[in-house]
Amino acid sequence: MTGRHASTAVRYGMTSVLGLIWLAPLYLVVVNALRPSTGYTGTHLWTPSSHFALIGNFGKAMTAAGLGSSLAATLFYSVVAPAIAVIIGAMAGYGITVLRLRRGFAWFMVIYGGTLFPAQMLLIPLFFGYADARLYDTRLGLILVYVAIDVPLAAFVMRNFFMSTARTVYESALVDGGSPWNIFWRIYVPMCRVALVAVFVLEFTFVWNDLLFGLVLTHSSGVRPLMTTLATLSNPYAGVTVPVILAGGLIVSLPTVALFLATQRLFAKGLTLAQL
């Protein structure tokens, strides 16, 4: 019994020490993000400043390099693109499994095969193609890319989900006079809403955190996504002081931290569904 107690104490001890090490960088970021940006000397980094300047630093970060307008743009991308992708992907899953599209599995592989390409394989043609199609540096252009990248995952999860539902649901709804679209929208979408939300949360985070497509496909501040702008801000030549950069890093992280903590289980469900 004492052996058991001792091992529990070791478990508490080890995880607490490691946990403190893990929290230290976050502590440093918060403490130094609320330090006045003008008197920053890079010393006494561990002690909180007596002046609370977080709000002022937030303000400076929002105006510097256009972080504020990027925030609005990214909120738009990361809500709209995954929402469209999830619906379109669910439609594909429904068409393949419930409506029994001919050679459905082959079409499914075509859609899912899209996940095999790393972003690096798409960047150069998208850059030049977008310039020709006047989609370069437009919000529509970014939404299109994000939707296309998110669709295969959504289709994959939804197909698996619909395969496990009974075909009789569709047949009896058809007998009751529903059209295929109405049956999809009124019966199948509500039925799979947990899976839909799980995929949405996962894809919201992907889009919110994207750096690379923003780097290649945009340049003006109303279109540039958040992380790309933060990257510009953190460049030593941007002429922004450390507390302002750290405040910027905090702002852009708060939404995903909140979402992640609120939906941990759903998030993990999305990840496991995605790998099945």
Alpha-carbon distance of 221 to 54, in angstroms, equals 23
| Residue of 25, 177, 190, 239 that binds another protein (CB under 8 A) | 25
- Is 32 one of the binding residues for another protein (CB under 8 A)? yes
Q: Does 138 bind another protein (CB under 8 A)?
A: no
Three-class DSSP labels, 149-208: HHHHHHHHHHHHHHHCCCHHHHHHHHHCCCCHHHHHHHHHHHHCHHHHHHHHHHHHHHHH
- Per-residue contact string for residues 82-111; x = within reach of another protein by CB under 8 A: ------xx-xx-xxx--xxxx-x--x--xx
Residue 59 Cβ vs another protein, minimum distance, rounded to whole Å: 18
Among 73, 155, 196, 199, binds another protein (CB under 8 A): 155
Joined tokens for residue 72: 């609005």
What secondary structure letter does DSSP report for 48?
P
Per-residue exposure over 160-183, b if at least 16 CB sit within 10 Å of its own CB, e if not? ebbeeeeeeebeebeeeebeeeeb
Which of 120, 132, 177, 239 binds another protein (CB under 8 A)? It is 120
From 125, 177, 190, 239, residue interacting with another protein (rule: CB under 8 A): 125
Q: Footprint of another protein on residues 45-64 (CB under 8 A)? A: 45
Q: Which of 75, 194, 238, 268 binds another protein (CB under 8 A)?
A: 268
Sign of the dihedral defined by the CA atoms of residues 149, 202, 139, 66, in that order: negative
117 binds another protein (CB under 8 A): yes
Q: Name residues contacting another protein, limited to 187-206 (CB under 8 A).
A: 205
Minimum CB–partner distance for residue 191 and another protein (Å): 16
Q: Which of residues 218-257 bind another protein (CB under 8 A)?
A: 227-228, 230-231, 234, 242, 245-246, 248-249, 252-253, 256-257
Return the structure tokens found at 51: 């002046």
Say whether residue 269 binds another protein (CB under 8 A): yes
Residue 223 Cα distances to 134, 142, 217, 250, angstroms: 14, 9, 9, 21
Quick one: tokens of 38? 């003008």
Cβ(219)–Cβ(166) under 8 Å? no
Kindly state the smallest distance separating residue 14's Cβ from another protein, in Å: 6
Q: Which of 80, 148, 187, 197 binds another protein (CB under 8 A)?
A: 148
